[in-house]
Chain A
Amino acid sequence: MKNVVDPTKKVDLQKFVVFGVAVLLFGFFAILRPAYASYSNIMTIVLSTCVNGLLAIGVTFVIITGGIDLSVGPLMTFTGIMSGTALTVWGLPIWLCILIGILSGIFIGMCSGLLVTKLKLPPFIATMAMMMVLKGLNLVISGVKPIYFTSVKGYQKIALGSAFGIPGFYNAILIFVAFAIVGHIILSKTLLGRYAYAIGSNTQAARLSGIRVDTWIIVVYATSGFFCSIAGLIMSSRLNSAQPQLGPGYELEAIAAAVIGGTSLAGGVGTIVGTLIGAFIMSELQNGLRTLAVSPEWQFVVIGMVLILSVAVDQLRRKNV
């Protein structure tokens, strides 16, 4: 047994590497621009991680099963628009509106899952189609106009208030951290997580072990939809409105965060902690490049390079083990 590499060590090393990159990047920007390391800027970075982080958590679940979810961006917007419609058109109480937003996220996730399992569409196609449908629906339902939550007093506080009264420590961060912990526990400690890994690792074997693979895949997509709806809640609260044009593009950032964090697109590998660090690296970069006054065009180039680098390093490391 001594000859076998300890696999737990491998995982730790992986996280360590990503974490190291996050720290190095931080140090790099802080040296160039000391203001970067100020408390308020750090909080800004964390705040800007919230939405992408939650979407990335959802996507991580799906990718671990060997699938992909391209619909998370527009889906996030869709949940906001649904709660906004419930508020302004149907005149429902705000807690019910928020619930409707969350349920619509879960529902759309289930639909993607059904497309993948029952109609046997490849996940890429199913969720890309879903992305297009939602993009259209967002515009149709809202009439291409933002839906404002201004009638609800304190709606913006959901994300931008601070429960502990610490300035800069917004509720959005609190919600984000809380759901990140929930996501981590689901993935590492419950049946849903275990089966996600099992299915991504070897679908056939999972099926032959008596696992209801289709059902669990649907649950996984629904879970992704759930995390999108929480992201949607934070987003609409921050903007005090649901912006129908918003959304497209977020899915790729979410996938990038998951991949930088060590999630394998082949399935079976990935952690929430890794994904969160991945999401953090992305916001850190965007923020840092902005402080260095790098133009947004070049920001894309740099982030693309980081994506290539992080995955390449991971592949090299894998070979050497």
Chain B
Amino acid sequence: MARELINMVHIEKEYPGVKALKDVSFQLLSGEVHALVGENGAGKSTLVKILVGEEKLDAGQIFVNGVETPITSIRESQKLGIIMIHQELNLMNHLTVAQNIFIGREHQYKRGLFLDDEELNRESKKIFDQLNLNIDPTVKVGDLTVAKQQMVEIAKALSYDPEVLIMDEPTASLTDSEIEDLFNVIRVLRKEGKGIIHISHRLDELQQISDRITVLRDGNYIDTRKTSEFTIDEIIKMMVGRSIYVEKPENNVLPGAPLSLEVKGLTCEKLVKDVSFNLQKGEILGFSGLVGAGRTETARAIFGADKLKSGQIFVHGKEVKITSPHAAIKQGIAYLSEDRKRYGLSLGMRVSINIALANMAHFINPIGFIKNHMINKNAKEKVESLNIKTPSINQLVRFLSGGNQQKVVLGKWLTRDSSILIFDEPTRGIDVGAKSEIYKLLNELAAQGKSIIMISSELPEILRLCNRVIVMCEGRVTGELKGDEITQEAVIRYATQR
């Protein structure tokens, strides 16, 4: 009964220095959610970019509804009803939400020569209602949080009424309830006979929503099977080519370890209200909550990126005034931001420089010349230890796959020898293998006596790493959980407690 919507056969794609796809085939049926999985740099994004005409294929064919259709531009794929939500946010910050959603299609909502913003607002509202969302369509996108921006991207894609919807890690920055809303919409689309390609590193989520899974590894096609025929471990094995080691949560905190960070009554203009907590030496402290709970804002305030209205911060027992990120870094605080593109990376620069960038003072000689060999040596170490997939340390960061970009950010902050590390969604967009490497790394750092704040929307990750969790809701700390108290139910209860 299901028709074949898309068939990509023998697809090849080479970038300078990287063979991104080698003879990959992929088929999408109507009424199915087809998951595409693989490690960072496996070629998932490249494959779907070829399908929407964003990248040219070197060899191979694409069949749409059984007819061979060369797709060479975004406009062509849009006309065919193939719509993609990109891995990175692609929004125009200075335009309103509604203007963003309907960009490129204003002609359908025009009165004569003139644009009709009212109509765009109304149409946006309709889509938001369907998604159970409360976003004002007249607000500028730049004023929204990353998660809300992600929802705008999703709304935008849905507004095309797509035949084929491609989602490249749409859930990476969303919380469980938002993901649930998204999945409900996807289920409706599936029932209507649409085809959905879903790329994600959250394998548990794929088991929930997908019908079939295709695995890629290093640009090679590995296999396609019904989801029900796979266990998560099997998927991982196919992705990585080996079983991975899952370590137990460790408790590195010695009883009576000194406090490395103490925050009292922190209050900011936006979303931080009277936040107090402390962090011990060698501890990994989890920060949980729904999107918009104020976790990122709290981190930014501690890091000096946002202005404090009131409150005190003590580092190693001494009160400090942190008025800028520079001051925070000097106090030994590092902040790994949730939006790598906006705050974390210089996309047009090399991997090696990016890794050195937060610590340049370390890499200059007394007269001020840059010691390139040191930068390169350090970069090589980090590329190795974090397993960053790049043809060389001289590659521009822009050309790395999403997950590998995230690892570069990690490398950057690990270069800086900080005693307090704030990780904001550090594993977003990172594959399972690399994730467990990062967990291992965090545990090692804690064992070395560093203190870590781990902001994460992925509960399993918090459960796995943390012995103590702060839960926030709407800018306030609503609960603190320790040891066995940390359960899914408890966290959600506090996260929704107003």
Kindly list chain B residues whose C-beta atoms are within 8 Å of the C-beta of A191: 106-107, 110, 115
Shortest Cβ gap from A150 to chain B (Å): 40
Q: Within the complex, which residue of B54, B95, B99, B107 is in contact with A208, where a contact is CB–CB below 8 Å? A: B54
Question: How far, in angstroms, from A194 to B115 measured CA to CA in the complex?
Answer: 9
Contact status B90-A7, CB under 8 Å: no
Interface presence of B271 (CB below 8 A): yes
User: Within residues 84 to 114 of chain B, which ones have a CB less than 8 A from any CB in chain A?
Assistant: 86, 90-96, 99, 103-104, 106-107, 110, 113-114
User: Within residues 241 to 273 of chain B, which ones have a CB less than 8 A from any CB in chain A?
Assistant: 270-271
Shortest Cβ gap from B160 to chain A (Å): 10
Kindly list chain A residues whose C-beta atoms are within 8 Å of the C-beta of B78: 210
Question: How far, in angstroms, from A189 to B139 measured CA to CA in the complex?
Answer: 18
Contact status A211-B91, CB under 8 Å: no
Interface presence of A278 (CB below 8 A): no
Contact status A209-B103, CB under 8 Å: yes
| Tally of chain A residues near chain B (CB < 8 A) | 28
Kindly list chain B residues whose C-beta atoms are within 8 Å of the C-beta of A207: 74
Contact status B90-A205, CB under 8 Å: yes
Question: How far, in angstroms, from A212 to B73 measured CA to CA in the complex?
Answer: 10
The 7 closest A-B pairs by CB, nearest first: A201-B92, A268-B94, A205-B90, A7-B140, A201-B94, A209-B104, A210-B104
Question: How far, in angstroms, from A52 to B104 measured CA to CA in the complex?
Answer: 33
Kindly list chain A residues whose C-beta atoms are within 8 Å of the C-beta of B127: none
How many contacting A-B pairs (Cβ < 8 A)?
Answer: 76
Question: How far, in angstroms, from A204 to B138 measured CA to CA in the complex?
Answer: 22
**Further pairs besides A3-B270, A202-B92: 6, Cβ < 8 Å:** A1-B136, A4-B144, A198-B95, A201-B92, A210-B74, A268-B93
What 0/1 readout, one digit per residue, does chain A (1-43) give for beta carbons within 8 Å of chain B? 1011111100000000000000000000000000000000000
Q: Within the complex, which residue of A6, A202, A210 is in contact with B91, where a contact is CB–CB below 8 Å? A: A202
Closest A residue to B54 using CB positions: A208
Contact status B270-A202, CB under 8 Å: no
Question: How far, in angstroms, from A211 to B135 measured CA to CA in the complex?
Answer: 25
User: Within residues 95 to 154 of chain A, which ones have a CB less than 8 A from any CB in chain B?
Assistant: none
Shortest Cβ gap from A195 to chain B (Å): 8
Contact status A190-B103, CB under 8 Å: no
Kindly list chain B residues whose C-beta atoms are within 8 Å of the C-beta of A5: 143
Shortest Cβ gap from A134 to chain B (Å): 31
Give the residue among B54, B93, B134, B144 with the most A Cβ atoms within 10 A: B93
Question: How far, in angstroms, from A6 to B78 measured CA to CA in the complex?
Answer: 33
Kindly list chain B residues whose C-beta atoms are within 8 Å of the C-beta of A201: 92-95
Kindly list chain A residues whose C-beta atoms are within 8 Å of the C-beta of B10: none
Contact status B143-A210, CB under 8 Å: no
Question: How far, in angstroms, from A49 to B22 measured CA to CA in the complex?
Answer: 63
Interface presence of A206 (CB below 8 A): yes
Kindly list chain A residues whose C-beta atoms are within 8 Å of the C-beta of B226: none
Closest A residue to B74 using CB positions: A210
